[in-house]
Structure 1
Amino acid sequence: MSSEQQTLIDDILRQQQYLRNRLDEEQQQLTLMAKRLWAQQEADKANLSRELHDGVGQLLTALTRRLHTLSAADPKMAELAELANLALEDVRQLSRMMSPVILDDLGLKPALKWLCRSLFEEEAIQCRCEITINCDISKDISTLIFRIAQEALTNTLKHSEAELVTVRLQNSYNTIRLEISDNGKGFQTGRVKQGVGLTSIADRARAFDATLEIASASGGGTTTTVVIPL
């Protein structure tokens, strides 16, 4: 091989390495931007949650009390008072789901148990929550896990027709694994288009170098698994 050929090969290799480095840098920048975006979305949800609680929630509370007072003189007001109370409870639940204070105050384990209880305590679906973690988890990863669980469990409630759903969270070596499985009707994964919620969760998982897998078959239930490096 001539010196000119060797020089050309060296130049090509240097260019390839330069391009790989640039791609790695751009990927890191995109990942950071995605994390900042989702952090801002969580902050926006927290703000909206407070506005619902402090604004609409207080107005509905006042309306409910007023209607209860009027119902003593006019029984017809009792039905309106009950409707206002139901609306108040819906607003409170929406506020809690948008920004679960329990996640910040008590941590991931109590938050996941609260999520299961809130979604299924009045449903004909039994929810088991098995959490065995013995490591510290950052706020970002805790939020990621909670949002994935929230999306998966909401889909189970809406679509699965299951009798049992199980949430398992455990850590092993330098990873944490979340698995949500149900014994519902399942679906053909290749024939069902992902909704906005699952697409967003998949994008967020990739930003954390996590692997997200949804396995299902008609009549065979559904299992959502995410493995996140710590």
Structure 2
Amino acid sequence: MDCTRLAEVLSEARGRQEVFRRALTALEEAGVIRCGEAYWVGESLSLLQMQACRANCSLAPWSRALAEEALRQGTRVERDGFVALPLRQGSRTLAVLVLKLELGQKIPEALPALLLLALRRPGLELSGRLLWAQEEERRRVGRELHDGVGSLLTAALLTLKVAERRPEQLAEARRRVAEALEEVRRLSRELRMPLLDDLGLKEALKRYLEEYRKGGVEVEAHLEIPPLPKEKEVALFRVVQEALTNTLRHAQAQRVQVRLWREGDRLFGVVADDGVGFDPEKTPASVGMLGMQERIQGLGGSLLVHSVPGQGTRVEFGVPL
């Protein structure tokens, strides 16, 4: 593996979670690992999961136990193709990586040193959190304004131009302006997220799915959601919402399945439809897809989109609790 390239990738990370995400992604793209997870060592040697695998990952059931063993021993632990690698600074273990190696591959010798250099950058964690939170909220509001309010106001403006010559079109122009006003009110409600504040993620998703069914798509839902911090509930609601919006706009689906469930110390989710699908290799990532990735990665998790033309689309994600 080209460790010079790995160093460049890590130097661009804006936060602690992004350091681990970039490292694991680079190792996977280079064919060194099949998947990987990362844990930060907190007070009293507690393990805080910073980066999690997806629901279909064979590493997930064994990851924490291997990380705990590596933490206790302070040395590398290997089990059946899995490797737990502690990152040590002097006598202290800062973090533990748990990796599923590809057959015949080895962990680059420079990996621990490069990670420690990236993690010691001054102000890394604070600047990363602030930048991510600010940029993500700007992107989301920008998408909503462009796709919703902007389109409606453009239509209203065109109708008003026609009405200059044909006054009977004024009623249609008023109707379009009223639609834009209602869209602004809807966006305001969603920014405040009153359902989440009052009822929590499970009930908010139930209410949202009741409205979603009115779009003509049959919905099968299985929601087993434990109590979560508010910021995690908001992020997960937005991810499910975006996946369902994409289904309604593009998939031409008859049925969609929504599942969220807990396994051990993580929460998994799936949004799958029976629509027209697409070829991920030939279709550029949309702003919505990038937003979903950013939200899940901001929680220390991973998201994967499976799709084949004519065979529907499946969005999978997993996040640490």
- TM-score scaled to structure 2, two decimals? 0.50
CA RMSD of aligned residues (A): 3.4
Which of 187, 193, 209 is matched with 1:116 structurally? 209
Quick one: which amino acid aligns to residue 97 of structure 1? E
Partner of 1:153: 244
Alignment of 1:132-143 (within 5 A): 132-133=224-225, 135-143=226-234
- Measure, in 2, the Cα distance between the counterparts of 1:118 and 1:209: 30
- Measure, in 1, the Cα distance between the counterparts of 2:140 and 2:116: 38
Which of 97, 100, 115 is matched with 2:193 structurally? 100
- Measure, in 2, the Cα distance between the counterparts of 1:172 and 1:81: 52
Which of 119, 124, 136 is matched with 1:29 structurally? 124
- TM-score scaled to structure 1, two decimals? 0.68
User: Unpaired runs of 5+ in structure 1?
Assistant: 1-13, 49-75
Partner of 1:171: 262
User: Which moves more between the two structures, 181-190 or 110-119?
Assistant: 110-119
How has the CA–CA distance of structure 1 residues 116 and 25 changed in structure 2, closer, same or farther, with 3 Å as cutoff?
Answer: farther
Quick one: which amino acid aligns to residue 37 of structure 1? L
Partner of 2:222: 130
Quick one: which amino acid aligns to residue 288 of structure 2? G
Tell me how many residue pairs correspond in the alignment: 189
Q: Do the aligned residues in 2 keep the contact of 1:34 with 1:204 (CA within 8 Å)? A: no
CA-CA distance at 1:41 after TM superposition: 5.8
Q: Do the aligned residues in 1 keep the contact of 2:239 with 2:295 (CA within 8 Å)? A: no
Give deviations 1:30-56, integer Å, cap 9, x for gaps.
5x54433344467779999xxxxxxxx
The sequence identity of aligned pairs, in percent, is 32
CA-CA distance at 1:26 after TM superposition: 4.3
CA-CA distance at 1:176 after TM superposition: 0.3
User: Which moves more between the two structures, 78-87 or 139-148?
Assistant: 78-87
Q: Larger relative CO (CA 8 A, sep 6+): 1 or 2?
A: 2
Give deviations 1:178-211, integer Å, cap 9, x for gaps.
1101110111111111012211321332232201
Q: Do the aligned residues in 2 keep the contact of 1:46 with 1:98 (CA within 8 Å)? A: no
User: Unpaired runs of 5+ in structure 2?
Assistant: 1-89, 91-109, 143-168
Structure of higher CA gyration radius? 1
Q: Do the aligned residues in 2 keep the contact of 1:46 with 1:99 (CA within 8 Å)? A: no
Structure (1/2) with the larger strand percentage? 2
SS across alignment from 1:212? strand
CA-CA distance at 1:104 after TM superposition: 1.7
CA-CA distance at 1:126 after TM superposition: 1.7
- Measure, in 2, the Cα distance between the counterparts of 1:192 and 1:87: 30
How has the CA–CA distance of structure 1 residues 43 and 189 changed in structure 2, closer, same or farther, with 3 Å as cutoff?
Answer: closer
- Measure, in 2, the Cα distance between the counterparts of 1:209 and 1:110: 24
CA-CA distance at 1:21 after TM superposition: 1.5
Structure (1/2) with the larger helix percentage? 1
Partner of 2:100: none
Q: Do the aligned residues in 2 keep the contact of 1:175 with 1:228 (CA within 8 Å)? A: yes
How has the CA–CA distance of structure 1 residues 95 and 107 changed in structure 2, closer, same or farther, with 3 Å as cutoff?
Answer: same
CA-CA distance at 1:22 after TM superposition: 1.8
Which of 202, 216, 219 is matched with 2:307 structurally? 216
* 2:318 is the alignment partner of 1:227: yes
